[in-house]
Chain A
């Protein structure tokens, strides 16, 4: 098992070979995810039959826990890794299909509210992480990567920014490891806090989408609370993702002005390149659903396809998280990330509670 987080390697790929290589890992994702579903259905029954007191654990948590158990004990063999890595592909396909469960009016209404909250969250997160990076004496570009990772959308944003500001691969590895480790912790802490504060599905979902950095973890943290919270977590996180291009562009211009990154030529082209295209797919499916292009039964079928796609994602979240490897990435970036995340989570929780009062969620 490698001990560092590597960055995208661009090398010639034979599509047919690539397809064959991912099959074992995709089957592993499906097996772990389906085992999670079976455990959800049967553990509770078994405990009840034996008069045990056992909490009702949903398939989301079972799938993540099974994945974590495999990854942190026997490890994920090389044979499966390419397929396991497709969890992000299933996540994005699931988000697009989830669009069928939102009418466009709801998307605009909820998205508009989310956009305002996301704008505040991004501003605060970047300012605070920059302050913390200086306080802890981190390298400026590592601080930029951590700020983007915690402000916008985790790993994708860090990778996009690394290329745009000519940051070291090592810095990106540190930032990615910190964001992934903290994302894993949020899966366990967010639902507990949400239940302790008796947050509504709406408030909790928006909070998860605002405060959890990586999209897969945000979707999982939401789904761990409830189906409705999962939907809203995805919508809010998608709003955050949509802003990735603007934040990366701002950082690229900033570092170019210091002579430490290449200047950005065509800004519109840059924004389009960085824009997550699955957001457009989500909106298009939502428009089709609003225009009654799909019957009620068909929307039910699309929603279930979305659930299956998310099931593979949740299995992947567990399988790709190896705590030992993450712990080797250095204490300082993790400390900065952890302090920043706690403050951002507390601040966004306050924002959501205020919005809950104003909008009556």
Chain B
């Protein structure tokens, strides 16, 4: 089953938690959109 991997892979011993990394990524992306680096994201 893959649940064990799901938890193991996102466990970081030191530094940021998965939540913190997710927030960081979201804010970096938001900053890039705000700065005009990504003008249009298709869907």
| A residues with CB within 8 A of B | 1-13, 18, 21-22, 71, 76, 81-93, 96-97, 100, 155, 159, 176-177, 180, 276-278, 280-281, 284-285, 288, 293-294, 297-298, 300-302, 304-305, 307-308, 316, 319-320, 322, 325-326
Contact = CB atoms under 8 A, between A and B. Distances in A.
Interface of B: 1-13, 17-23, 25-27, 29-30, 33-34, 38-43
B2 A298 contact: no
A139 B23 CA distance: 37
Contacts of A8: 7-8, 11
Contacts of A285: 26-27, 30
Nearest to A3: B1
B2 A84 contact: yes
Given A92-B23, A277-B17, A281-B26, 6 more contacts: A5-B4, A93-B25, A281-B22, A285-B27, A301-B33, A322-B2
Given A6-B3, A93-B25, A285-B26, A85 B10 contact: yes
Given A9-B11, A85-B7, A294 B17 contact: no
Contact of A85 (B5, B21, B29, B40): B5
Contacts of A304: 41-43
Contacts of A2: 1, 4
B2 A302 contact: no
